[in-house]
Structure 1
Amino acid sequence: MSRERTPEREERIRNVLAHRRKDLTLVMDNIWDPHNVSAILRSCDAFGVLRVHLHYTTEPWPDLGKKSSASAKKWIDRVRHQDAASLVDQLHGQGFRILRTGFSDTARPLWDFDLFGPTAVILGNEHRGVSPELCALVPDELFIPMRGMVQSFNVSVAAALILYEAMRQRRERGLLDEPSLAPEEMERLAADWLTR
Structure 2
Amino acid sequence: MREMSNQKRISRIEEILRHKQPDLQVILDDVNSSQNLSAIIRSCDGAGVLHLYYAAGCNDTLKVHKTITQGAHRWLRRKHIATEEKVTFLEEKKAEGYQVVVTHLDENAVSFREIDYTKPTLLVMGNEKEGVSKEVLALADHKIIIPMQGMVQSLNVSVATALILYEAQRQREDKGMYETAQLDSEEQEQIKEEWLYRDIIARRSKGKIKLPGE
2:37 is aligned to 37
The separation in 1 between residues aligned to 2:193 and 2:123, in whole angstroms, is 29
How many pairs are equivalent? 193
Q: 1:127 aligns with which of 114, 126, 129?
A: 129
Note the C-alpha offset of 1:71. Answer: 2.3
Give yes or no for contact 1:31–1:59 (8 Å, CA) kept in 2. no
Identify the range of structure 1 (88-97 vs 60-69) with the bigger mean alpha-carbon deviation: 60-69
1:93 is aligned to 95
Note the C-alpha offset of 1:70. Answer: 4.1
1:190 is aligned to 192
Q: What amino acid is aligned across from residue 78 of structure 2 in structure 1?
A: R
2:209 is aligned to none
Note the C-alpha offset of 1:65. Answer: 5.1
The separation in 2 between residues aligned to 1:191 and 1:69, in whole angstroms, is 21
Q: What amino acid is aligned across from residue 97 of structure 1 in structure 2?
A: Q
Note the C-alpha offset of 1:131. Answer: 1.0
Higher relative helix content: 2
Give yes or no for contact 1:30–1:58 (8 Å, CA) kept in 2. no
Q: 1:108 aligns with which of 101, 107, 110?
A: 110
Note the C-alpha offset of 1:133. Answer: 1.4
Larger relative contact order (CA 8 Å, sep ≥ 6): 1
Secondary structure of 1:117's aligned partner: coil
2:15 is aligned to 15
The separation in 2 between residues aligned to 1:74 and 1:128, in whole angstroms, is 30
2:46 is aligned to 46
| TM-score of the two chains, using structure 2 as the length reference | 0.84
- Superposed, 1:75-94 pairs within 5 Å as 75-82=75-82, 83-94=85-96
RMSD, aligned CA: 2.0
Give the gaps of 5 or more residues in structure 1: none
